[in-house]
């Protein structure tokens, strides 16, 4: 009801309680309040997908959610994907197949593909490209991103 | 850009939301946020109050009421996309929702938000128009129902009174020997349609068309039912000539033009897409 | 893998693990306690006089720390005019903008006022409330009409919108045209696009407490040039300013410029004595990061009866936008490159660089070459059509053949050096591409499809790109006592994997695994001068400099080891991070131990009489360019009911000389082609008749997404360049240039039954149907 709102969120398994400005979007909250700067901001109008995170397991543009709306939610961000020493299989496939160049759009894309491959472990190229259509990448032409996802889906 | 300041309200019950909408000056409802949030971030909208409906459990869900399927206004597009009931009873809807935005936006975006935002090219309003949806609306004063036909009041303007909230959408399924098709042309996968067409056909025992619904999206401020084309189809056996005649009528719609898309192009798309959609719907009806 | 053959290996990138973990540090990720946030009020008019700045009332707004105009910044700067960034004596005064416009604005998006506040949101609140008063002036929007003598002018007080006019050419053009059996004339047009790295621009400036020192992080392609400009503009000493390019989220040309915002933020940080940050939002990128491609061409080609080109002539109007921050090299590139891979005995072009009240134009990936290739390739297709010859055959008859290499183009580059193609096998590239796409069987495919009412088309195009501009780059290679190798380079990593490539070049000499090599790039504290990443130059310049430095370290290690191991230098080799006696792998010394020995001991001579520490500096200097080339072929299907173009297949044959890392090279080609697809079919930065940009979100300006682009089949031909020790040529832009002409040719071919001819890009579905309607009334759509 005021300028601030108290929230409790779980991010990558860790609990946070914070008082947030109500106009702060979720991406800015993750980045600037919690220092989770792996989630990137590319357009702030919900078109580029760089800020994609998982909210209760579902991919969402974090620039299109208020931080206040995440209260009580479980979030997953790129920082939660890898183990202590090893990349996870999707990250490893991106590395092996040169699925990234400047790396700015990569965290959001990894989160979308994480959701897709959980739902559809054997996703085909059409499904992968459809899921990726919610992301803009200027470097890769998408080809090696698709190849990396197909590798994880056991299609190559 | 960052949103201008606003006050944020997050009611847990519908009546609280209605109270807030009745009391607050310059308040806007926040549904899935996939259209309003960009406008806030770009400072194209700067309401004093945001009333967030996302915590109101009673506003979401897909139910069957008799023959009808009822969507809570806050039902996520994703829930519609993967609903068994929708796939079974509303195949047109199931097809239309797959063209709405992207996976990431369908996870958050709601049917009610899409209807109230009322983008001329949006898919779900076109599907609702095609199926003669009934919209349930409430305020602290009253509840009422609005026929989808009467819902668009102007460019991106629904016919809601101050303080009213869209709560549910009632869709009467078509049963019997029915074929439906939703087709659109968008520049890229997931973009708003330039033009979309929704077709429902019912065939009688003699394979003649006993009922027809043809709706164009993207051509005018709201989705448009093509009454002439529908009339032209009734009683016909759907052959290439009948399809072409109906499509020609669709192509004659008085379409809007803008700096990107001239009216004649929308007319051309209306004709092309309706012809293709009629053919698909017929194939599905006889299948 | 053997470290000795690491050049040419498909090595995974050293950049990636951190980026994949979300640990890449881009400029907005840098933790900086106490940082203030800047936002800019920008002109809403294409052209206007500023009559009032609302400074005082904004200062009272919540969280606002400072409200700065050009007048307020003047105390911190030697000049509030942006200095010209490349030497160009022909630029008239006023061709560059101010840091903040003091009295006149010349494009929508031009910064006029800067608010510094405790948060970005608060700074934007003040910008939103800023009522700068303007008196609108008539705007110049269309470059083709900008030359009208009585029309509006881009800036008050200038006599003409023509920035410069020049001719480029050689040979007896008029004579060739006078006697030519066939002459064809065409007009071509390409519209502007925006670079759109997914990370926009951004800058953070932090004054170091207790000193006049300033550290500046910028998302830039040119950290050294930003450094030297800051030194000049802030009146500082070189050592007082340090510029660091952190992780950069793509550049594509738009970050190869020092922008007003970078100088304003640095000046503000100095003035306020506090760190200040500005991160560009996407709307700002649309309006205030440079654009490129608008050109109008009117050209004639003369050919003989056998379709051999005799001469080419015409005129070019290049839309420069409102200012010329760097120079007019994009237009010069176009003018000097149009002949591409072809033998053109005589050529002349008359170039007018015209100013308009739109966002300034400087090179975006391709830099003038895409437009020129579009014109030439479309002309060749026209010749084929007129003479009823196969398009591939007409190309074959005119290509420069390998036996004529090196081939002097009889043209000079913009710095006056002769343009000489160092090498390349254009006929081979064409043959490979046509074979891969199945050109021989295409007519049958097309015929069968047409019988089903489907319209298939095939198109192809060549591209030639002189890559790598000098004059030099510098590098340092150092081996630590742990055996770890550090490479310092003036290179800029912005996605192209240059750190990996430099590590590979270093590893090739020092025989250490890639993970033992760390590359530091884009930090003025380590490499004092250089030119950063533009013009597909870093593999040539930075890698050659690293190669020379690594070679010097290798020689030094061997000389020291010869003394330490009591062996002849010629008996030693480097293996697995050690210098060993050939054939006796157990007898050797690690590079780390040599490094320790070369740190020395008090009073003792260094082994082998070498200079201290295991380190070497090198620079690589070159004024020639290495000519990369490409041949692209694609197959499309056009839907005449909607105007939609589907890309069915795309083949890219690229010759960028010797490849340091084919995995990276393929990725560069994929991205370059998709950028070209954007230019051909999707991307169009549009303005209305008043000069208002009307495509300022990603909903209106369309970048290709994963569902619009095909898999790109990449084939490499490797003709080593003779210009540098590694034999490499540039790559980043060479894959973009041939795309638009290949795609448009394919669409034209698909629509052959309608008699459609296409002389423009981008080509929207609306335009496809319009062309069908206009082309041939008898064959109009049903």
What integer best gives the mean pLDDT of chain C? 95
pLDDT tops 70 at residue B59? yes
C640/C643 Cα distance (integer angstroms): 5
State the average pLDDT over residues B150-169. Answer: 96
- What is the structure's pLDDT at C256? 96
Q: Please name the residue of chain C whose CA is at the shortest distance from the CA of residue A21.
A: C121
Q: Which residues contact B4 (CB under 8 A, 6 or more apart)?
A: A23, B40, B43, B46, C125, C128
Closest-CA residue of B relative to C770 is B265
Residue C777's pLDDT is 54
Interface test with B, best of A1, A24, A47, A61 (most B CBs within 10 A): A61
> SS3 sequence, B42-74?
CCCCCCCEEEECCCCHHHCCEEEECCEEEEECC
Residues in C 511-570 with any Cβ partner in A closer than 8 A: none
Give me the pLDDT at residue C413, please: 83
Q: Which residues of A touch C200 (CB under 8 A)?
A: 42
Question: Distance between CA C517 and CA C15 in Å, rounded?
Answer: 12
Mean pLDDT of C591-595: 98
Q: How many CA atoms lie within 13 A of C201 on its CB side?
A: 29
Question: What average pLDDT does the segment B82-93 reach?
Answer: 97
Gap from A69 CA to chain B (nearest CA, Å): 8
B42 to A45: CB separation less than 8 angstroms, yes or no: yes
Residues of A with Cβ-Cβ distance to B51 under 8 angstroms: none
pLDDT given at position A155? 83
Mean pLDDT of B44-51: 97
Percent of chain C past pLDDT 70, that is, above it, reads 98
Yes or no: say if C629 and C669 are a contact pair by the CB < 8 Å rule: no
B243 Ramachandran zone, left/alpha/beta (phi>0; psi -120 to 50):
alpha
Q: What is the pLDDT of residue C556?
A: 97
In a 13 Å sphere around the CA of C448, the CA atoms on its Cβ side amount to 5
Tell if the CB–CB gap between A47 and C709 is shorter than 8 Å: no
Closest residue in C to A47 (Cα) is C698
* pLDDT band for position C778 (cuts 50, 70, 90): low
Q: What is the distance between the alpha carbons of residues C409 and C423, in angstroms, rounded to a whole number?
A: 12
Considering only CB atoms, C283 lies closest to which of B42, B190, B262, namely B42
Q: Note whether C406 and C722 are within 8 A (CB).
A: yes
- Name chain A contacts of C196, Cβ cutoff 8 Å: 136, 138
**CB pair distance less than 8 Å for B188 and C120:** no
Q: Do C709 and A142 touch (CB under 8 A)?
A: yes
**Sequence-distant (≥ 6) Cβ neighbours of residue B75 within 8 angstroms:** B60, B61, B62, B110, B111, B112
pLDDT for residue B136 is more than 50: yes
C725: pLDDT strictly greater than 70: yes
Cβ–Cβ under 8 Å, residues C63 and C73: no
The DSSP call for residue B24 is: -
B145: β partners: B136
| Residue C776: per-residue pLDDT | 66
Residues A102-116, mean pLDDT to the nearest whole number: 98
Beta bridge partners of A74: A10
Has this prediction a pTM greater than 0.95?
yes
Touching B (3+ Cβ pairs <8 A), the chains are A, C
Mutate to test the interface with B, among A24, A39, A45 (most CBs of B within 10 A): A45
Q: Is the pLDDT of residue C684 over 50?
A: yes
Are B8 and A64 an interchain contact pair (Cβ–Cβ within 8 Å)? Answer: no
- Span C8-21, average pLDDT: 97
Give the integer Cα–Cα distance in Å for C766 and B37: 30
Q: How confident is the model at residue C89, as a pLDDT?
A: 64
- Residues C374-393, buried b or exposed e (16+ Cβ, 10 A)? bbbbbbbbbbbbebeeebbe
Please state, in angstroms and rounded to a whole number, the distance separating the CA atoms of residues C754 and C775.
Answer: 7
pLDDT for C3 = 41
- Given pLDDT bands bounded at 50, 70 and 90, which one contains residue C782? very low
Average pLDDT over residues C622-633: 96
| Selection from C227, C244, C258, C264 nearest residue C32 by Cα | C244
Chain C residue set in contact with B, beta carbons under 8 Å: 120-121, 124-125, 128, 281, 283, 641-644, 682, 686, 688, 694, 697, 699-700, 702, 704-705, 707-708, 764-766, 769-770, 781
For the CA atoms of chain A, what is the radius of gyration?
16
pLDDT in tens, C72-122: 999 999 999 998 887 666 777 778 999 999 999 999 999 999 999 999 999
Model confidence pLDDT, tens digit, residues C478-526: 999 999 999 999 999 999 999 999 999 999 999 999 999 999 999 999 9
pLDDT: is C91 or B129 the higher one? B129
The mean per-residue pLDDT over the stretch C274-284 comes to 98
Q: What angle do CA C167, C169, C170 make, to 5 degrees?
A: 140
Residue C306 neighbours by CB under 8 Å, 6+ apart: C397
pLDDT of residue C327: 86
Is A41 an 8 Å CB contact of chain C?
yes
Yes or no, beta carbons of B265 and C643 under 8 Å apart: yes
Cα(B50)–Cα(B46) distance, integer angstroms: 10
Q: Do C705 and B269 touch (CB under 8 A)?
A: no
Nearest in space to C529 (alpha carbons), one of C223, C203, C217, C230: C223
How close is the nearest chain C Cα to the Cα of B109, in Å? 17
pLDDT digits (tens, 9 = 90+) for C634-683: 999 999 999 999 999 999 999 999 999 999 999 999 999 999 999 999 99
CA atoms within 13 A on the CB side of A103: 27
Distance CA(C90)–CA(C538), nearest Å, equals: 28
């Amino acid at each position: 009801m005021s300028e601030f709102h108290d929230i409790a969120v779980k991010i990558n398994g860790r609990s946070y309680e914070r008082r947030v400005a109500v106009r702060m979007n979720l991406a800015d909250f993750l980045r600037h309040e919690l220092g989770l700067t792996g989630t990137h901001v590319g357009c702030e109008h919900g078109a580029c997908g760089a800020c994609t995170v998982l909210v209760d397991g579902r991919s969402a543009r974090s620039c299109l959610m208020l931080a206040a709306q995440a209260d009580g939610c479980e979030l997953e961000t790129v920082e939660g994907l890898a183990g202590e020493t090893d990349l996870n299989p999707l990250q490893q496939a991106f590395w092996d197949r040169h699925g990234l160049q400047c790396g700015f759009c990569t965290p959001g894309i990894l989160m979308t593909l994480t959701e897709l491959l959980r739902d559809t472990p054997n996703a085909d190229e059409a499904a992968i490209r459809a899921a990726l259509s919610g992301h803009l990448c200027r470097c890769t032409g998408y080809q090696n991103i698709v190849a990396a996802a197909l590798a994880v889906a056991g299609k190559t | 850009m960052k949103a201008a300041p606003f006050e944020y309200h997050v009611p847990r019950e519908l009546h609280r939301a209605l109270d807030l909408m009745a009391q607050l000056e310059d308040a806007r409802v926040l549904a899935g946020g996939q259209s309003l949030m960009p406008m806030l971030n770009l400072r194209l909208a700067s309401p004093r109050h945001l009333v967030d409906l996302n915590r109101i459990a009673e506003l979401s869900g897909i139910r069957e009421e008799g023959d009808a399927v009822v969507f809570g206004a806050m039902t996520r597009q994703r829930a519609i996309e993967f609903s068994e009931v929708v796939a079974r009873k509303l195949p047109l809807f199931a097809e239309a929702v797959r063209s709405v935005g992207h996976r990431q936006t369908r996870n958050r975006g709601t049917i009610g938000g899409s209807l109230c935002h009322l983008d001329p090219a949006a898919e779900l309003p076109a599907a609702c128009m095609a199926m003669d949806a009934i919209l349930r609306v409430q305020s602290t004063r009253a509840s009422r129902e609005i026929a989808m036909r009467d819902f668009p009041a102007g460019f991106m303007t629904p016919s809601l009174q101050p303080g009213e909230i869209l709560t549910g959408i009632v869709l009467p399924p078509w049963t019997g020997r029915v074929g439906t098709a939703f087709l659109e042309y968008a520049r890229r996968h997931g973009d708003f349609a330039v033009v979309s067409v929704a077709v429902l056909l019912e065939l009688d025992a003699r394979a003649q068309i006993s009922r027809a619904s043809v709706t164009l999206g993207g051509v005018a401020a709201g989705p448009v039912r093509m009454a002439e084309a529908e009339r032209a189809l009734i009683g016909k056996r759907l052959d290439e000539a009948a399809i072409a005649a109906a499509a020609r009528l669709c192509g004659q719609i008085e379409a809007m033009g803008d700096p990107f898309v001239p009216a004649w192009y929308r007319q051309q798309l209306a004709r092309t897409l309706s012809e293709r959609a009629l053919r698909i719907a017929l194939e599905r009806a006889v299948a | 893998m053997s470290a000795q053959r690491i050049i040419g290996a498909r090595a995974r990138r050293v950049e990636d693990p951190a980026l994949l973990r979300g640990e890449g540090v881009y400029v907005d990720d840098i933790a900086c306690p106490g940082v203030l946030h800047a936002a800019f009020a920008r002109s809403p008019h294409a052209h206007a006089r500023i009559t009032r700045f609302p400074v005082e009332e904004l200062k009272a707004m919540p969280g606002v720390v400072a409200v700065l105009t050009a007048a307020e910044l003047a105390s911190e700067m030697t000049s509030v005019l942006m200095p010209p960034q490349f030497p160009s004596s022909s630029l008239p005064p006023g061709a560059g903008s101010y840091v903040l416009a003091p009295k006149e604005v010349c494009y929508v998006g031009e910064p006029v006022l800067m608010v510094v506040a405790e948060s970005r949101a608060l700074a934007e609140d003040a910008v939103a409330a800023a009522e700068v008063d303007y008196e609108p002036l008539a705007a110049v929007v269309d470059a083709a009409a900008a030359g009208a003598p009585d029309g509006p002018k881009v800036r008050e007080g200038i006599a003409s919108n023509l920035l410069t006019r020049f001719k480029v050419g050689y040979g007896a053009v008029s004579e060739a045209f006078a006697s030519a059996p066939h002459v064809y004339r065409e007009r071509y047009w390409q519209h502007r696009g925006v670079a759109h790295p997914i990370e926009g621009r951004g800058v953070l400036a932090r004054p170091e407490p207790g000193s006049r020192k300033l550290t500046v992080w910028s998302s830039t392609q040119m950290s050294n040039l930003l450094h030297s400009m800051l030194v000049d503009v802030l009146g500082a000493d070189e050592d007082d300013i340090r510029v660091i390019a952190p992780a950069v989220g793509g550049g594509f040309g738009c970050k190869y410029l020092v922008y007003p915002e970078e100088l304003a933020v640095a000046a503000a940080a100095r003035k306020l004595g506090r760190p200040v940050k500005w991160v560009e939002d996407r709307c700002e990128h649309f309006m205030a990061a440079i654009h490129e491609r608008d050109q109008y061409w009117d050209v004639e080609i003369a050919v003989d009866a056998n379709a051999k080109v005799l001469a080419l002539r015409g005129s070019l109007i290049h839309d420069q936008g409102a200012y010329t921050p760097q120079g007019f090299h994009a237009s010069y590139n176009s003018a000097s490159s149009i002949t591409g891979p072809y033998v053109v005995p005589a050529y002349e072009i008359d170039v007018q660089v015209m100013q308009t009240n739109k966002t300034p134009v400087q090179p975006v990936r391709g830099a003038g070459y895409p437009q020129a290739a579009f014109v030439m390739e479309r002309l060749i297709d026209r010749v084929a059509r007129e003479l009823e010859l196969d398009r591939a055959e007409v190309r074959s008859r005119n290509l420069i053949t390998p036996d004529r290499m090196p081939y002097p183009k009889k043209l000079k580059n913009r710095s006056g050096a002769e343009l000489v193609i160092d090498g390349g096998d254009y006929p081979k590239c064409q043959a490979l591409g046509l074979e891969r796409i199945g050109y021989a069987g295409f007519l049958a495919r097309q015929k069968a499809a047409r019988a089903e009412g489907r319209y298939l088309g095939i198109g192809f195009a060549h591209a030639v790109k002189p890559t790598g501009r000098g004059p030099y780059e510098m590098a340092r290679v150092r081996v630590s006592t742990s055996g770890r190798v550090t490479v310092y380079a003036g290179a800029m990593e912005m996605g192209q994997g240059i750190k990996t490539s430099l590590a590979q070049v270093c590893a090739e000499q020092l025989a250490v695994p890639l993970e033992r090599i760390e590359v530091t790039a884009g930090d003025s504290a380590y490499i004092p001068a250089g030119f950063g990443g533009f013009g597909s130059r870093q593999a040539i310049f930075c890698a050659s400099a690293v190669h020379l430095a690594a070679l010097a370290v290798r020689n030094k290690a061997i000389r020291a080891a010869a003394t330490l191991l009591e062996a002849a230098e010629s008996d030693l080799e480097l293996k697995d991070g050690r210098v060993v006696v050939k054939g006796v792998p157990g007898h050797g010394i690690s590079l780390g131990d040599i490094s320790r020995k070369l740190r020395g001991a008090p009073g003792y001579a260094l082994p082998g009489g070498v200079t201290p520490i295991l380190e070497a500096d090198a620079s690589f200097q070159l004024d020639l360019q290495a000519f990369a080339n490409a041949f692209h072929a694609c197959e499309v299907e056009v839907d005449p009911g909607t105007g939609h173009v589907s890309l069915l297949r795309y083949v890219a044959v690229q010759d960028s000389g010797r490849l340091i890392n084919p995995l990276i090279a393929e990725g560069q080609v994929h991205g370059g082609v998709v950028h070209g697809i954007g230019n051909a079919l999707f991307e169009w930065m549009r303005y209305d008749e008043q000069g208002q940009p009307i495509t300022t979100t990603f909903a209106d300006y369309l970048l290709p997404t994963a569902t619009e682009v095909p898999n790109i089949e990449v084939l490499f031909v490797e003709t080593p360049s003779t210009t540098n020790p590694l034999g490499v040529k540039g790559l980043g832009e060479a894959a973009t240039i041939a795309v638009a002409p290949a795609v448009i040719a394919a669409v034209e071919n698909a629509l052959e039954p309608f008699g459609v001819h296409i002389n423009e890009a981008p080509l929207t579905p609306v335009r496809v149907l319009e062309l069908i309607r206009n082309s041939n009334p008898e064959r109009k759509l049903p």
